[in-house]
Structure 1
């Protein structure tokens, strides 16, 4: 069949596409590393409970002010801890979207890029 291009793309076009894909993969990996190192601070109760995490929501530490530790009211402390974690998660989501959004959600594909 004359004029039928079985390869679809020429060699140079495919090579350029592969270079672009490799560059994007390197950018995604660099951004993932940045997110691992980005410190997020979630707070609750006027900073009576502070949760430290990275932008991937890995919790590194929790600080609790002694003034909110009441043996007769465990539920209040539990609520403050959850609120601080959720505050941190919201902040982490915002950072993640800001940094990874340019890749169209491809960063979470487990190394498929």
Structure 2
């Protein structure tokens, strides 16, 4: 909010209105992480170094096993803040690769009528 100046003759309210910015955005200051979250982040980081394949659900269970009352939403938020993610297949890994050397084979029994047992 560097465009808004408190010492300007135009009021802060009017400056925000002209810039089409909510006045609350001007007064907002982000809070620091609490000491409990810092402790959880430290534990998560240590465990992630040992088991990088742990995703959010497993890490949540690990922290609960240590006696911390956390849910998956908090752990997911901490993962995002620390830029962590579990190693594993990403979405859409089962789709065939379109590229050189990959052929899609036709379904041979299509149109064949099965009228007896093999």
**TM-score in terms of structure 2 length:** 0.20
Higher relative contact order (CA 8 A, sep 6+): 1
Considering fraction of residues, name the structure with more strand. Answer: 1
**TM-score in terms of structure 1 length:** 0.20
